[in-house]
Structure 1
Amino acid sequence: MIYHIMNKSIEGYKIFIDDADSKRFIKAMIYYSYQRSIKIPFKEYLKIISEKEGKSGINKIISFAPLINIICYVVMPNHFHILLDDFKNNYLSKYCNNLLDSYTRYFNVKYQRKGPLWQSRFKRIPVEKDQYFIHLTRYIHLNPVTAFLVDSPNIWEFSSYNEYLSGKENICNYLNYFPDKYNFKKSYAEFVNDRIDYQRKLAEIKHMIFD
């Protein structure tokens, strides 16, 4: 089953303060998707793998498939989005809890604080693989642009957008989820960029819209 996973910091505080924080979260995101197959502790894994190596780095130490497929993601200053496939149908809660707990411990030690970091356990929404699926990936990848952090999604380092533009899989397993994977690279860039102005305008007027 495919899920859109999201969580935000308490009171919207900035919890990905520098590049190292975002990279640390991405490394944990990869590690815990394989955790039952990896026989080394997370601290040892961090010494071996860079976050840019993704699956190729994992293959240095294991040859097993992940328990969860990460389809796309973005790490923002105070929240994150992950679109994933829990194809084993029994690992999602453990995966998310491990990921959030791991980052909380890291953040509290680094910034000398105590207590919870996240607003809630985590939010998950089941996603059908239909015409709305690709729109959700676009929404996730446009988060930094919508927030006016960058002018183009390819500038934001901490998302899977540039991996999509490469047409190759590294951190994410995504190509098999899209019907036209052979022409995917060019068509996806056009699909995302066509929506930038609209999504920014929607964000600007959001405070005037009743739920």
Structure 2
Amino acid sequence: MVYHIFNKSIADFVIFNTDSDFNRFISTMKFYLYDQKKSISSEIFYADKHGEVFVPNSGDDKLINIICYTIMPTHFHLIVDDFDDDYVSKYMNNIQNSYTRYFNLKHKRKGPLWQSRFHRIAVQKDEYLIHLTRYIHLNPVTAFLVSKPEDWKYSSYQEYIAGEEINCVYKKYFPENYNFNKFYKEFVDDRIDYQRQLALIKNSIIE
């Protein structure tokens, strides 16, 4: 089953402040794609130390697949394909609890970090999926953090538009297209102004 999963910090507190913070969360997401028996600290320590994102062993069997993600300063969006219905809750608990421990230790604080357990919405129609990925990849642009989605390093967008086959896992969920990378970039770029205008209207109504 494919799910859109999202959560945000308590009181919109900025919980991703540095490259190390963003990379740590992304590494944790990738580490727990598998039913790990090892300690996360021993696996991710090297990546953290060198400012890199953890890359799991591609030979291992995944229990869940990340289709799309964007990490924002106060929240995150994921689209996942859960091969085992019992695993998605365990997966989210693992990555959120792990990041909370990392963040609290780093900032010498105690207590919860997340506003709620997490939100999960089933994606019932395949044709809706590509539009949802576009919305998620445009989050940093909509928030005026960057002018182009490819300028935001903490999302899967670069893997969608890369010329080389970095991660073909994404493409299997979408209709076949001769030049998927070019098609997807145009598909996303076409929505930038519209999504920004919607955000401005929404903010003006709230104010």
In the superposition, the TM-score normalised over structure 1's length comes to 0.89
- Which letter maps to 2:22? S
- Please give the root-mean-square deviation of Cα atoms over the aligned residues, in Å: 2.0
- Which letter maps to 1:180? E
SS across alignment from 1:93: helix
Contact 1:8 1:118 in 2 (8 A): yes
1:173 paired to 2:134: no
5 Å-filtered alignment, 1:32-51, equals 32-34=32-34, 36=35, 38-49=36-47
SS across alignment from 1:207: helix
The CA distance in 1 between the partners of 2:98 and 2:118, in whole Å, is 14
Contact 2:9 2:113 in 1 (8 A): yes
Give unmatched runs, 5+ long, in structure 2: none
1:206 paired to 2:198: no
SS across alignment from 1:33: coil
Task: Work out which of the residue numbers 129, 134, 139 in structure 1 matches 2:135.
Answer: 139
Q: How far did residue 196 of structure 1 move?
A: 0.1
Which residue in 2 is equivalent to 1:6? 6
Which residue in 1 is equivalent to 2:69? 73
The CA distance in 2 between the partners of 1:166 and 1:128, in whole Å, is 28
The CA distance in 2 between the partners of 1:92 and 1:30, in whole Å, is 13
- Which letter maps to 1:11? A
Which segment is superposed worse, 42-51 or 92-101?
42-51
The CA distance in 1 between the partners of 2:186 and 2:14, in whole Å, is 31
Q: How far did residue 45 of structure 1 move?
A: 0.8
5 Å-filtered alignment, 1:62-211, equals 63-166=59-162, 168-170=165-167, 173-207=169-203
- Which letter maps to 1:10? I
Q: How far did residue 39 of structure 1 move?
A: 4.2
The CA distance in 2 between the partners of 1:80 and 1:43, in whole Å, is 22
Aligned length: 203
Give unmatched runs, 5+ long, in structure 1: none
The CA distance in 2 between the partners of 1:69 and 1:173, in whole Å, is 8
The CA distance in 2 between the partners of 1:130 and 1:63, in whole Å, is 28
Percent identity at matched positions? 57
Q: How far did residue 47 of structure 1 move?
A: 3.3
